[in-house]
Structure 1
Amino acid sequence: MTSPTTASQAELKAAKVPLGWRDQCSALLIPLNVCRKEKYYLPWECENERHVYEKCQYDDYMRRMKELSKRKLEAEE
């Protein structure tokens, strides 16, 4: 299942994203890393990109936890 927030393997390889960071929000991580490099990792820069990426990470976590609890309920029945 691909989503608009998931980058292709070719894009991730070109952007040199480490394997551990290639998840459902990988397409949002690429512009965030570009911004960070351009702005010398200043914490007050790239706030919008960081917020969008962290929101995606949170939503993905919540989706996985709902799926896990659903599976636990099915296993108990």
Structure 2
Amino acid sequence: MASSTTASESEMAAARLPLGWRDQCSALLIPLNVCRHKENYLPWKCEDERHIYEKCQYDDYMRRMKLLARQKKEAAAEADE
């Protein structure tokens, strides 16, 4: 994952992001939350920001699942030896 999608600790604290949301896509969540607040959380507003954030979340999930599958495959290969 590109480091440009991760906000610094001070940026996340300034944006008051909960600890559970401080992940690889935190830099994309900050402008999304600003837009949501500005637009009174209307569901048809901020669609571009939401789509970009959700794509980042999906890509991060897929990266982690591929890593897990690789680790399981390596562990199985070591067990067979």
Q: TM-score range by the shorter chain?
A: over 0.9
Q: Corresponding residue for 1:42?
A: 42
Q: Which blocks of at least 5 consecutive residues in structure 1 are unaligned?
A: none
Aligned residues: 77
Alignment TM-score, normalising by the size of structure 2: 0.93
> Could you say which structure has the larger radius of gyration?
2
Q: Corresponding residue for 1:16?
A: 16
CA RMSD of aligned residues (A): 1.2
Alignment TM-score, normalising by the size of structure 1: 0.97
Structure 1: 4+ residue segments shifted above 6 A: none
Q: Quick one: distance in 2 between partners of 1:4 and 1:63?
A: 16
Secondary structure in structure 2 of the residue aligned to 1:4: helix
Q: Quick one: distance in 1 between partners of 2:67 and 2:7?
A: 23
Aligned-pair identity in percent equals: 71
Q: Which has the higher helix share?
A: 2
